[in-house]
Copies of this chain bind each other. A is one copy, B any other.
Amino acid sequence: MTDIPYHAPLTTDSLRNLGIPEPWTIGFADRVRFTELDPLGHVNNAAYLSWFENFRLQYMDFYGAPLTGRDAYMVVLRQVQVDYLGEMKLGDDYVVTGRTTVLRTSSFQMEYAVWSGGALRTTSTAVLVMVNEDGKCPIPPKLRSILTTRDGAISA
């Protein structure tokens, strides 16, 4: 993955050039750091959750639906599953891809994947809940529309 632009939105063409297949249409690249390694020299299992969290923030920003700052949408992680398919090491470049697959009344399901060296290293699914100051609340129509249009998310 030479000349991969880190921290920038990678859209469909860029992802395909990196060998990342459909249905992924948005990703962000970064590089493994020393502080993410465990005593065995591999990326620690908890670090991936931070990568997915970072993806969510960048992805929603890019979609015009920010999760931080004034007027941000507030979501909380309700459930996450991670499948660790291959180890990752110091200095490995990687791309995190993600998308929203299902929209319910007040929660939505996302999928993530981590790609490195041309291989799929980790996959994940998550359930996020929309909240306001009073607790759980319906997904706002504007956000529902964005995730339907951009990601092809299905309302269920």
- Residues in A lying within 8 Å of B, measured CB to CB: 6-7, 31, 33-35, 37-41, 44-47, 49-50, 53-54, 57, 68, 76-84, 90
B residues less than 8 Å from A77 (CB atoms): 45, 84
Query: Contacting A78 at CB < 8 Å: which of B40, B41, B84?
Result: B84
- B79 engages A50 (CB within 8 Å): no
Query: Contacting A39 at CB < 8 Å: which of B31, B41, B78?
Result: B41
B residues less than 8 Å from A81 (CB atoms): 79-82
**Closest beta carbon of chain B to A5's beta carbon, Å:** 8
- B78 engages A53 (CB within 8 Å): no
- State the oligomeric state as a number of copies: 4
- A34 engages B57 (CB within 8 Å): yes
B residues less than 8 Å from A44 (CB atoms): 35, 50
Query: Contacting A45 at CB < 8 Å: which of B31, B47, B49, B84?
Result: B49
* Given known A45-B77, A79-B82, A84-B77, contact A54–B34 (CB-CB < 8 A): yes
* Given known A6-B6, A7-B6, A46-B47, contact A54–B35 (CB-CB < 8 A): yes
Q: What is the bound-complex CA distance between A46 and B53, given in angstroms?
A: 9
Q: What is the bound-complex CA distance between A34 and B38, given in angstroms?
A: 8
B residues less than 8 Å from A39 (CB atoms): 34, 37-41, 68, 90
- B41 engages A50 (CB within 8 Å): no
Identify the closest chain B residue to A77 (Cβ): B45
B residues less than 8 Å from A6 (CB atoms): 6-7, 31
